[in-house]
Structure 1
Amino acid sequence: MATKSKKNTAGFDADVIIVGAGPVGLTIANTLGVAGVPAMVIEKLDKIIDYPRAIGIDDESLRTLQTAGLVDQVQAHITPDHWMRFFTASGKCFASIEPRTDEFGWSRRNAFIQPQVDEILYQGLQRFKDTQVLFEQSVTGITQDADGVTLTLEDNKGEPRTVRARYVVACDGGNSFIRRALNVPFEGRTKPNQWIVVDVRNDPLGTPHVDMHCDPERPYVSAALPHGIRRFEFMVMPGETEEELSKPENLAKLMRKVVADPDQVDYIRKRVYTHNARLAATFRVDRVLLAGDAAHIMPVWQGQGYNSGMRDASNLAWKLAWVAKGMAGDALLDTYGEERRDHARSMIHLSEVAGDIFAPESHTAAKVRDTVMLALNALPPVKQYFAEMRFKPMPRYERGVVLLPEKGESQPLLGGLLNRSGDHPLGRLLGLMAEKKESPLGRLLNGFEAPLETPVGRMFIQPRVTTEAGETVRLDDVIGLNFAILAWGTDPTFNLSPEARAFWERLGAKFITVKPQVQMAHGSDARAGVTTLGDAQGRLKEWFGKQTKSIVFVRPDRFVAALCSPQEVSAVTAALARQLAAPLEA
């Protein structure tokens, strides 16, 4: 998918203009660059933000950066397998999140320092001669017509200019000018409490993970970061102000809770923030799309604000590229909001629940939490549930570019009741568990109802595979920014009609046959245009062994679009073509 845009760009400054040079905007720009689509990034500041913000990057985000061709550089700035432990006021650990799985090719929880990764994203744009970045440009107006979007800009000297594109992506933050100019409601709430963040160099503790100290007197966080950096976060108590807390003597009192000598701490910065939980009413208004904080903001407790924005980038970028290149119709962009908005709401809910568990509103609630959580943690299934992050709602698309099997879902019983049990933190936690129907606890809370067991609409695994040249690589490195039609042990093109095969070839899809690693010594007997891979870890055989169909259609963002038998590939292709708003015949 490296060809340039086929459409005439006369009258346009770029096919896509991205407002905001944060991680989401830069990731979309890099992915469009990989696809060969001209893009422009507009940023009101004079450079990308250089102070630390997010500190957690997950496996899905790393996979997105892999697709953008930058993950090898990013790896130097992460700490893999980053645990998160919750402690009572007396120092007892009542929950520990210790994920060790890597089904998507990367460790599930990782610490990072955001400015270092943002700089890699920014420098990555130098690879693409048709990608521009304009700093010190504020958007002051926006208009749309049938063909494109016009933005009015003003530089730091007050000089105006206009730029025009076929589509605009608003990545301009929680206070998005574009979202407000389009009158898109931003629904939700602002938590009344605040937190002061203190980042330090030359880590004064040196322990390798994240500790959440749930002390009702003053909850605080201690997080180890790469390169000897540590973050402390302290709850701002009623009556306190940022100005007062930032005074040396008061900051020393805070730090004395966590270090032996506050005077020997090498401070980087101090900053107070307020938790917000808000969701845009729509992610699309005609030719303008909202992404990242412009579309949703959430409390920090599960580190999902950054990662939810990166999911937006992964979902939206390939669709924009296809539409801009004339490979799909404009209707494909409707699926972005259909797929992403519900999951963003789920992540907001998770973050709010985690915050309520960490910092309940009273000492009594804290004691109840400690008692219940310590009891639950004594049960191996529950302990495993938390350790493996099974509570995290993984994206599952039931609308959009997916062909779900015709199978209805049953109505939750106990789980549904718990999920409507009000705002009590433990009730909300049980309700959240109930939503995870595929877990043993979820089945218990839902009266042992049978969940929908299809992988369609979920992210496909990324194991290591062996190429015909004998190299062992991650699966996505073979697929690139393309659709893939993978088959276990057979040729996925054998039953494709000429029209169906031509359709996928026009879209640059990869046809892949996977077989046991030992069979690679036999050589490939696949037809021309089909890549043969060895199942180096046995994970693909295990994955296909759980299915009743042997051919899987994987989207450029690595979600499963469809599953079928070898004799159904042409019919499924026709159905997907309709969902992609792409003509089956040239």
Structure 2
Amino acid sequence: MTTTRPDLQGASPRHTQVAILGAGPVGLMMANYLGQMGINVVVIEKLDRLIDYPRAIGIDDESLRTMQSVGLVEQVLPHTTPWHAMRFLTPKGRCFADIQPMTDEFGWPRRNAFIQPQVDAVMFSGLGRFPGVSWRFSRALDSFTQHDSGVTLTLTTPDGKGETVTADWLVACDGGASTVRRALNIPFEGKTAPNQWIVIDIANDPLGTPHIYLCCDPQRPYVSAALPHGIRRFEFMVMPGETEQQLRQPHAMRALLSKVLPDPDNVELIRQRVYTHNARLAARFRAGRVLLAGDAAHIMPVWQGQGYNSGMRDAFNLAWKLAMVVQGRAGQGLLDTYQQERRDHAKAMIDLSVMAGHVLAPPKRWQGALRDGVTRILSYLPPVKRYLLEMRFKPMPQYRQGALVADPAGKPGPVGKMFIQPKVTLESGEILRLDDVIGPRFAIIAWGNNPLWGLTAAQISHWRGLGCAFIEVVPEVQIHTSQDNHPGVMRLGDSDNRIKTWFADKSASIVVLRPDRFVALSAIPQTLGPQLTRLAGALHLAPVQESAGCPHSLQQPEVA
């Protein structure tokens, strides 16, 4: 793997602020986000290079927004196929569920196919932008200990020598078989599916048809997925009595492919592998100075493509909080909100993935017949079609406790949900996506009024010390004339009328966005001040000095 800076092979023992165990997608995203915030990070990986074979094949709009947050989305997009539909077929080929949401409220297509090794490589290359981030491959973790002020990791190098790394914090992104989770005796609750599946990836796609099809064949359910760069993925259920060794035989492989191809011999095989579906959730995501993320915290069946995306949500939720704690901007209590916010949603995604698996391959034969009959009737109902097409069945994250200020009366509202990302117009006339204007920081956004009104001088100083952006959004036609300007407030034009539409459906006219773009509180000008005081407590904010501001640059560094 070519890098911009050599792997620290043979490095002497050293200290870092954050050690990340695992150079998979979650670990790489954590390292990129922490690196851009100026945090010293060491990524430790047991393999000698990044995994180079296809694994996950679906990346959603939330994950692309996370890539955008570290300035890498433009490098990722060439390895994706946007607007990728998922279609469930009956044994006779009738499509009974067509999932192709066309909304882009978060700034990117909802469903996208992608090639994971290429995207992982983009994230790894991105680490070269940050002088405080380094990596050590071919390092086996022998043991670790933690104390009040940090964690000590004992590693073995490729030549069998011992190596020690000390860190203020350890983020374990070391997969479903997490050594760290096991050492901490954290239960991994759930179950393993009784059947296995074999995945076959083929170059120069012999079918060429777009989208992904889940074929509910009672004899042998299978999946056919078109991927970027001319790759086709097939997945077949392993039937009782079959072994991986048997299925790897040429005649067995030919029999499988003959179900989906007229000429099963004329293919360019990339790889084949048998895997098991697990649905498990860690009892805790934090133990002292150790945090679990990605598959180390939760694993789920692949049927909704949410394993990878749930890991990205973990990284986005945890990285900004950990950065604030390391920088002394917030107390350690902020890290407890990571489990409060992420665990319940991870469980919801596990349940959704298990349900989708049962739709594809029902445990009982009669359940498949019932599914086919019921879906034929329901397909004539427009609300059902919209429910599937718009992917309304997908549980969207909504945090009801944690680093936020919920409605005291418990009324539903925007707090705890991700804010939209429309395009906005700057006073210069430039049109950008909202996140590219805000940058990696908090933002207080007001519709058509001054977000500073009603705040005390101390509050304004406090939030400016955190690097918070104060933003007034106005109709796009107003942004082209200098008017209603307020010192220290950024004016943005509502390019597509989407922000006004969003606020028009709410009882508030001001929102506070966290760095991960979730709404931390909503208010009107008269209630913003008291609400900000409550939010400071929920965030465990430390007193802020004027010299301790977050990076204010709105430009993301380019990939080296």
Is residue 95 of structure 2 the alignment partner of residue 136 of structure 1? no
Contact 2:329 2:544 in 1 (8 A): no
- Aligned residue for 1:494? 453
Q: Give me the whole-angstrom Cα distance separating, in 2, the residues matched to 1:476 and 1:585.
A: 24
Equivalent in the alignment of 1:158: 160
Q: Which residue of 2 aligns with 1:87?
A: 89
Output aligned runs, 1:248-263, within 5 Å.
248-263=250-265
Query: What is the alpha-carbon distance in structure 2 between the residues aligned to residue 160 and residue 265 of structure 1?
Result: 46
Aligned pair partner of 2:380 in 370, 378, 381: 378
Contact preservation (8 Å) 1:198, 1:269: yes
Q: How does 1:293-442 map to 2 (within 5 A)?
A: 293-408=295-410
Larger % of helix: which? Answer: 1
Between the aligned partners of 2:154 and 2:57, the Cα distance in structure 1 is 34
* Separation of aligned partners in 2, 1:585 and 1:156: 45
Aligned equivalents of 2:76 and 2:131: distance in 1? 22
Could you tell me which of 197, 200, 223 is aligned with 1:198? 200
Moved more, 365-374 or 167-176: 365-374
TM-superposed CA distance for 1:336, in Å, is 0.3
Deviations 1:486-521 (A, max 9, x none): 000111012211110111111101110100001112
Counterpart AA for 1:496: L
Do structure 1's residue 574 and structure 2's residue 533 form an aligned pair? yes
Match of 2:424 in 1: 465
- Per the TM alignment, residue 378 of structure 1 is displaced from its structure 2 partner at its CA by 1.5
Alignment of 1:210-229 (within 5 A): 210-229=212-231
Q: Aligned Cα RMSD in Å?
A: 1.0
- 2-side partners of 1:490 and 1:289: how far apart? 41
Partners of 1:149 and 1:109 in 2: how far apart? 39
Find the counterpart in structure 2 of residue 563 from structure 1: 522
Number of residue pairs matched by the alignment: 533
What's the TM-score, normalizing by structure 1? 0.90
The structural deviation recorded for 1:583 is: 3.2
Write the distance in 2 (CA, Å) between the matches of 1:32 and 1:229.
33
Answer yes or no: is the 8 Å Cα contact 1:18–1:40 preserved in 2: yes
Give the secondary structure class of the aligned counterpart of 2:131.
coil
Q: How does 1:41-80 map to 2 (within 5 A)?
A: 41-80=43-82
| Alpha-carbon shift at residue 584 of structure 1 (Å) | 5.1
Partner AA of 2:370 in structure 1:
V
Q: Is the 2:170–2:289 Cα contact (8 Å) retained in structure 1?
A: yes
What's the counterpart of residue 191 of structure 2? 189
Q: What residue is the counterpart of 2:433 in the other structure?
A: 474
Distance change in 2, residues 1:585/1:17 (3 Å): closer
Partner of residue 472, structure 2: 513
2:486 pairs with 1:527: yes
Partners of 2:429 and 2:480 within 8 A in 1: no
Structure 1 contact 12–166 (Cα < 8 Å) conserved: no
One-letter code aligned to 1:75: L
SS at match of 1:51: coil
- For residue 265 of structure 2, give the secondary structure of its aligned residue in structure 1: helix
Distance 1:500 1:208 in 2: 53
Helix, strand or coil at the partner of 2:143: strand
Whole-angstrom distance in 1 between the partners of 2:367 and 2:506: 45
- Deviations along 1:392-440, one digit per CA (max 9) or x if unpaired, are 00001011011111224xxxxxxxxxxxxxxxxxxxxxxxxxxxxxxxx
Checking the alignment, whether the CA contact within 8 Å between 2:427 and 2:480 is kept in structure 1 is no
* Deviation, structure 1 residue 524: 4.4
CA distance, structure 2, for counterparts of residue 28 and residue 354 of structure 1: 29
Q: CA deviation at 1:169?
A: 0.2
Percent of pairs with identical residues? 59
Shift of 1:139: 1.0
Whether the aligned pair in 1 keeps the contact of 2:14 and 2:164 (CA below 8 Å) is no
| Counterpart position of 1:554 | 513
**Cα distance in 1, alignment partners of residues 427 and 33 from structure 2:** 27
Distance in 1, Cα, partners of 2:167 & 2:462 = 28
Deviations 1:233-289 (A, max 9, x none): 000000111111111111111101111101111110000000000000000000000
Q: Distance in 1 between matches of 2:121 and 2:300?
A: 24
Q: What SS is found at the alignment partner of 1:263?
A: coil
Letter in 1 for 2:75: Q
Q: In 2, are the aligned partners of 1:524 and 1:532 still within 8 Å (CA)? A: no
Give 1:542's aligned amino acid.
Answer: T
**Amino acid aligned to 1:361:** P
Q: Secondary structure at the match of 1:183?
A: coil
SS at match of 1:461: coil
CA distance in structure 2 between the partners assigned to 1:50 and 1:528 by the alignment: 51
Specify the code of the residue in structure 2 equivalent to 1:475: L
Farther off after superposition, 376-385 or 313-322: 376-385
Equivalent residue for 2:444, pick from 465, 475, 485: 485
* 1:25 matched to 2:34: no
- Secondary structure at the aligned position of 1:262 is classed as coil
Secondary structure at the residue paired with 1:234? strand
| Structure 1 residue aligned with 2:6 | none
Could you list the per-position Cα deviations for residues 453-496 of structure 1 after superposition, in whole angstroms to 9, with x for gaps in the alignment?
A: 30100000000101111111100001111010000011101221
Kindly state the Cα deviation for residue 362 of structure 1 after the two structures are TM-superposed: 2.7
Cα pair distance change 1:206/1:458, threshold 3 Å: same
Unaligned runs of 5+ in 1: 1-10, 409-451
- The equivalent of 1:429 in structure 2 is none
Contact 2:466 2:544 in 1 (8 A): no
* Residue 538 of structure 1 pairs with residue 538 of structure 2: no
TM-score w.r.t. structure 2 length?
0.94
Shift of 1:363: 2.1
Q: Which one-letter code corresponds to 1:331 in the other structure?
A: G
